[in-house]
Structure 1
């Protein structure tokens, strides 16, 4: 069933809004009217008349829908959209994909964020400088009032996200905006309909090389919030794994989005920092160790222990090198694939010597040792070899990825060869200039 809409459409001949702010609500009859009137006054004072507020009622069961319709009938530039299903992400996705505004954004109905941050949030998007903008409660310049539990969970969650390569400091702050052309490009690949929607958008945007602007905000936590922060954080971690799988399998086409809208060199986007590499390598190493143990236990029933050890190590080493190439060190494409596997096999031979030596030492010291003792010794040796493998993969096998990350992007190289200013060339190629600042920049370019 299509959503019902109450409120003014853009009349023919009238310019569409520069900014549309969505306020997703579910059973917010107590706070909705006061919050919308406060937001209405703030937008009128900061943005003139080219803005629109959309109240996105996602299947409320109280009087929220009636209050939203009444506000839309009374206040200019306010409309209400009624969706049949719950979900903040679902509501935002629907409204943003159908918006006529140049910039779309949202904020939580409790207005925890000081609305003085609206103009700094939106300005870099209207000027074309950035693609997305988010408020952050974790900046040293932010002023935040909230409980210790929420603070701890928020910081822990965002620390884990940074281990995946996400640079945004506060993924879940309910104060975000993006250019509409960016929204139309990436939202079709965003699956979450609930609270993970924000993080999923940011993960796809960053992996696609989009520029994200952060604004320190003043934030007073809503003590009546209905969000279960622990359950939400756990669900979000499952969402992180799903998005990473989608990017790795290329179901989410970040390369294509980067080619169309991206700004940063693509290799930089994909290569996580040291902590992220350690985390990913550790997860892959753990999975490889389990796979090795299962293979060895099965193989030693039919072949000699040394041969079983070699075959199990060989198979897991090939899979381990591939996984680390793609996931840990962010190498894309087939270039250098064979040489990477050859180097990986050399690292494997070193690991094999280590584990075989431990097995030989066990049999020398305790000739009566059985499969369980062999497995324990080999597993410990394999874990030690895993640490050595990480150092060699990072410093030798995939070292070129760090050199490549300092190389100029293709678009920048073209601009440099032509003698053009690479910054202006990249901006003009990827981002349309909009609004009053755009006119000023255009005049400046013409004068130059």
Structure 2
């Protein structure tokens, strides 16, 4: 409520117990004032942070942030450190979407900010635990876990307008394409996709050539293509398109399966035609035809996966 009523360009807060050393205040707000970042948070979990607290709170804090990374793909290191700042206009856009008004509030704000493409700056802090803290750790942890589940449902059900906010607020909207007509980021994706593709192709031919004499060309092609297609989709989700966690994984692998079927049709059809023309073809010609067929199916795979990843949220 205080943030919503403020007209200050930068909004910040810290815990009333003054556990965080105030010398970190200027480093906290500097990236926001400069326009470099949209939010800034103190972190007690950076290597250069100096923290004094008991093992129980240390374990709970690290476990909670691990849950956030696993369940919500959080990229920030310390959601609960009571030392945060935000640009005013960002706060006014995001606060109406934050349902929690208790301890989960800042986690919810950070997760939404990350999902819409805002830049979150982290500042290592010096932090000393307050031995007289009245916080009920067990009750707080229980409420936080409920908040995680609620957020997952909100994102899955589309109740948080991520796409609209990303277009309006996200850093992606500020960087135009460097080449007219070419979507921003495609060149980088193509390079990463190509790297994954080279490794997948090598694995395919190792499997194919290793099984060909035992199973015949068609069966060897089927097995090699299926194994590498599954691995290729998983690798491209993470490496090429930066998707982590299980969100959309089933849909992505289904798209990869369709691309696999296209590739299977191309490679199997090519092998069939080749063996109709020459029952015992030269192994080099066979490999060359498979390379061409795989190149075409690779293009289909890239376009299909890129379309799927673009609509992953």
Q: TM-score range by the shorter chain?
A: 0.5 to 0.7
- Indicate the residue corresponding to 2:156 in structure 1: 248
Counterpart of 1:115 (choices 22, 37, 47) is: 22
Counterpart of 2:138 (choices 217, 230, 238) is: 230
Separation of aligned partners in 2, 1:102 and 1:222? 31
Aligned-pair distance for 1:235? 1.4
Q: Does the residue aligned with 1:328 lie in a helix, a strand or coil? A: coil
8 Å Cα contact 2:41-2:84 kept in structure 1: yes
Aligned-pair distance for 1:128? 0.7
- Indicate the residue corresponding to 1:177 in structure 2: 85
Residues 1:145 and 2:52 are matched in the alignment: yes
Q: Does the residue aligned with 1:133 lie in a helix, a strand or coil? A: strand
Separation of aligned partners in 1, 2:76 and 2:252? 31
Q: For the aligned residues, what is the CA RMSD?
A: 3.6
8 Å Cα contact 2:118-2:170 kept in structure 1: yes
8 Å Cα contact 1:248-1:326 kept in structure 2: no
Aligned-pair distance for 1:338? 12
Choose between structure 1 and 2 for higher RCO, CA contacts under 8 A separated by at least 6 residues: 2
Aligned-pair distance for 1:327? 7.7
Counterpart of 1:328 (choices 219, 235, 246) is: 246
Separation of aligned partners in 1, 2:88 and 2:303? 33
Q: 1:328 to 1:222 in 2, by over 3 A?
A: same
Separation of aligned partners in 2, 1:402 and 1:207? 23
Aligned length: 204
Separation of aligned partners in 1, 2:140 and 2:253? 42
Aligned-pair distance for 1:249? 1.3
Separation of aligned partners in 2, 1:111 and 1:243? 30
Q: 1:148 to 1:134 in 2, by over 3 A?
A: same
- Indicate the residue corresponding to 2:76 in structure 1: 168
Q: Deviations over 1:212-257 (max 9, x none)?
A: 0000000000111111222212211110111121112111111111
Aligned-pair distance for 1:98? 1.1
Counterpart of 1:205 (choices 113, 120, 123) is: 113
Q: Deviations over 1:70-108 (max 9, x none)?
A: xxxxxxxxxxxxxxxxxxxxxxxx011111100101001
Aligned-pair distance for 1:114? 0.2
Q: Deviations over 1:95-131 (max 9, x none)?
A: 1111110010100111000000000000000111000
Bigger Rg, which one: 1
Separation of aligned partners in 2, 1:326 and 1:159? 14
8 Å Cα contact 1:153-1:230 kept in structure 2: no
- Indicate the residue corresponding to 1:130 in structure 2: 37
Q: 1:222 to 1:338 in 2, by over 3 A?
A: closer
Indicate the larger mover: 248-257 or 151-160.
248-257
8 Å Cα contact 1:248-1:327 kept in structure 2: no
Residues 1:260 and 2:168 are matched in the alignment: yes
Q: 1:328 to 1:401 in 2, by over 3 A?
A: farther
Counterpart of 2:97 (choices 189, 201, 204) is: 189
Counterpart of 1:340 (choices 248, 255, 261) is: 255
Task: Flag structure 2 segments of 5+ consecutive residues without an equivalent.
Answer: 174-183, 186-242, 262-297
Q: In proportion to residue count, which structure has more helix?
A: 2
